[in-house]
Structure 1
Amino acid sequence: MLFNTFIVVVTVAAMELFSIVAHKYIMHGFGWGWHKSHHEERTGWFEKNDLYAVFFAGIAIALIYAGTRGHHPLEWIGAGMTAYGFLYFVAHDGLVHRRWPFTYIPRRGYLKRLYQAHRMHHAVQGKEGTVSFGFLYAPPVARLKQQLHALHQGAPRARPREGAATGLQDVPPAS
């Protein structure tokens, strides 16, 4: 049981590392066709970007199925992917994007930093010149502000959204 728990925890951590790379190079690269909807105003419950969640849920389900059919420890890897998906749903879709009734705006600590980092990711119009590609890991806000400033110096394709130079209008300054 301890080994299985270890596999789930390691998988959650590995999923965050994978997600950072996938978000930066796939979603903001050749997979922009699906992800673009996430950087635009949403109309309705769903957006094309949700297809990524469906795709990875399918992989997790397949791993759990294979693991329960004797290919251990695949079921625990699939469980870790599922746990990561749940954390993503709560933190990203709930806290940051308020896709379900969630009115809490964090004022301090890790959740505030996560909220600010993702808001800074969305402060740029388009796929170029964005910062902070993690979903559960948030670099220090001061470093992200420096990166945004450096990326926008002489970069006409990476322009801030109108009225969202930092993406932090409704969050108190970092403490």
Structure 2
Amino acid sequence: MSILAAIGITLATFGFMEFWAWFMHKFVQHGPLWFLHRSHHVRHPHPMERNDLFFLIYGGLSAALFITGGNGGRWWFWAGLGIAVYGTVYFFVHDVLIHGRLRFWKKSQNTYLRALNMAHKTHHKTGGRDGSAEFGLLWVSPKYWQLARRKKAPKQENA
């Protein structure tokens, strides 16, 4: 397989994962699998949530594609890479930046990341399964871009 085809499959899979994450979040996690996702919408003192099982599902799928993908010789190896890259970005943006599950990445001055954070906070305004908005991760509605541009980020002090 050519390097351009491998890169194309990886990027296409990454892009598809944003749609897939939105679809699964809106129609499955806030639907029949709410019993797993609910843990993400309530405050709790535990470091892990039932919702973290979704990470294991997608990680397992990605690993299976890697293992059976012939060290890059089969197209699904590169699809597995796209899923893994999306999962890594998801972890750092959603779990680390937005929810602060690891405390090494503080609030950002970046307009896009602030808009993303605002959109996600809108999603969490309702504690229940119904009434939420903004189900995606990386795509941000234009209204949040505008809000983030208007609202200046507080300056961070260096300790």
Q: TM-score w.r.t. structure 1 length?
A: 0.78
Judging by fraction of residues, say which structure has more helix: 2
C-alpha contact 1:116 1:141 (8 A) present in aligned 2: no
**For structure 2, which runs of at least 5 residues remain unmatched after alignment?**
153-159
Which of the residues 4, 7, 11 maps onto 1:5? 7
Shift of 1:58: 0.5
Q: What is the aligned partner in structure 1 of residue 156 from structure 2? A: none
1:3 deviates by 1.3
Structure with more contact order per residue of length (Cα contacts < 8 Å, sep ≥ 6): 2
Cα gap change, 1:62 to 1:116, in 2 (>3 Å): same
- Residues 60-79 of structure 1 mapped to structure 2, 5 A cutoff: 60-68=62-70, 72-79=74-81
| TM-aligned CA distance change 1:174 to 1:140, over 3 Å | farther
Please, which of 132, 137, 142 is the counterpart of residue 134 of structure 2? 132
The verdict on how the C-alpha distance between 1:8 and 1:128 changes in structure 2, with shifts beyond 3 A counting, is same
Letter in 1 for 2:92: V
Query: CA offset at residue 106 of structure 1?
Result: 2.5
Unaligned runs of 5+ in 1: 146-170
SS of the equivalent of 2:100 reads coil
The structural deviation recorded for 1:107 is 3.6
Structure 1 partner of 2:43: 41
Q: Which residue of 2 aligns with 1:17?
A: 19
Q: 1:78 to 1:70 in 2, by over 3 A?
A: closer
Cα RMSD (Å) of the superposition? 2.3
State the alpha-carbon separation in 2 of the partners of residues 174 and 126 from structure 1.
28
SS at match of 1:29: coil
